[in-house]
Amino acid sequence: MNDQDLPLSGLLVIDMCQFLSGPYASLRLQDLGARVIKIERPGAGDLSRSLYLSDTEIGGDSTIFHAINRSKESLALDLKNSDDLASLKRLLTSADVVLQNFRPGVIERIGLSYDSVRELNPRIVYASITGYGNSGPWVDRPGQDLLAQARSGVMWLNGDDDQGPVPFGLAVADMLAGSNVAQGVLAALVRRGVTGTGAHVETSLLESMVDFQFEVLTTHLNDGQRLPKRSEFRSAHAYLSAPYGVYPTADGYIAVAMTPIGKLGKLLELDALTNYSDPGSWFSDRDAIKKSLAEHLATHTTDHWLAILEPADIWCAKVLSWPELMASEGFKVLDMLQTVTREDGVSIQTTRSPLRINGRRAQTHRAAPKIGEQSSTIREEFGL
């Protein structure tokens, strides 16, 4: 797909963010065709350059930095330096979108609040991400993913009932906040196309985590505010009845979703399940049903059970490892991987955009930039 075919082609995004939430938003905008200029501190750059998920680094930077900053440009500016700050303000007069995830109060001290930037560029779409909003007792606390998960209540939905709070194995608060901001930016750009004026889009890690739980929180708020009750055995969802869960088989694992217990018992020839004709018992006897099912499924292979359940349209799936996923035709047909490179020999295999526009998925070829890699060309282009 030619970059000119993408819906945000021609738009300029200035990303002043670090770590994951803001850069995830600008990555989505970049995948839709926008040009993203990343503002980094001279010398140190984005702190996520040294945020290692493992002991793997590529070209001196962490894999996470490469994954989330592919195809962006880097302009090194010291925002404590008056000349560099003036250069950034000149650049913002040409921008369509600016993203920032400083702690509340910092951006105002720099002189780049929404009101200040709007005076420079009334058409700007300005996006802010914080940890917990702009007021309240947590406003100055670190807006970090695990801490936002901890404060959101979401950890009591994962794992079995006796495990205590269980966090997600991904930075879900960061990525959800970035996704929400990207949606807000796109809506504000549509509005700007009608009115000619920009807008200030705001969210926080906590707001995004609350929204993430909208289904179960709505249940909690309207059924006497009962707390979620996870299964004691093979829990996969605190609010769903048996058989919902993941079960070991003779050679792996199988996931079984919402299914009438009686029907499942007949298909599997498991008489113990045929006694549960009342759907209410699928909740009240959830653990007993799951234990019977687990013992039975462990007697044969995953493929054996799939051959029985899938033709009957039972919602089930083999639990795949990453190598199994990537070897599968279902993954290959999506063409979700790409290799991006840089002039200094850096080459990294990473994911592609999850979006298809007019039937085609955008692809990029340039790896994440070195600190200030495009500084001289950007300064010349914009007269900085």
What is the set of active-site residues?
Answer: 174
Q: How many residues does the chain have?
A: 384
Distances (CA, A) of 268 to 176, 230, 297, 311, 313: 39, 25, 9, 13, 13
DSSP state letter for 236? S
Three-state DSSP state, 176: helix
Within 140-285, where are the H helices? 145-152, 172-195, 205-212, 214-222, 261-268, 281-284
Q: How far apart are CA 24 and CA 143, in angstroms?
A: 15
Please say whether the beta carbons of 290 and 231 come within 8 A. Answer: yes
User: Would you tell me the crossing angle of helices 172-195 and 145-152 to the nearest 10 degrees?
Assistant: 90
Query: How close are the terminal C-alpha atoms of the chain, in Å?
Result: 32
Three-state DSSP state, 169: coil
Alpha carbon 258 to its chain's center? 26
Q: How far apart are CA 146 and CA 344, in angstroms?
A: 35
Please say whether the beta carbons of 61 and 368 come within 8 A. Answer: yes
Q: How far apart are CA 52 and CA 237, in angstroms?
A: 31
Q: DSSP secondary structure string, 282-338?
A: HHHTHHHHHHHHHHHHTTS-HHHHHHHHGGGT--EEE---HHHHHHSHHHHTT--EE
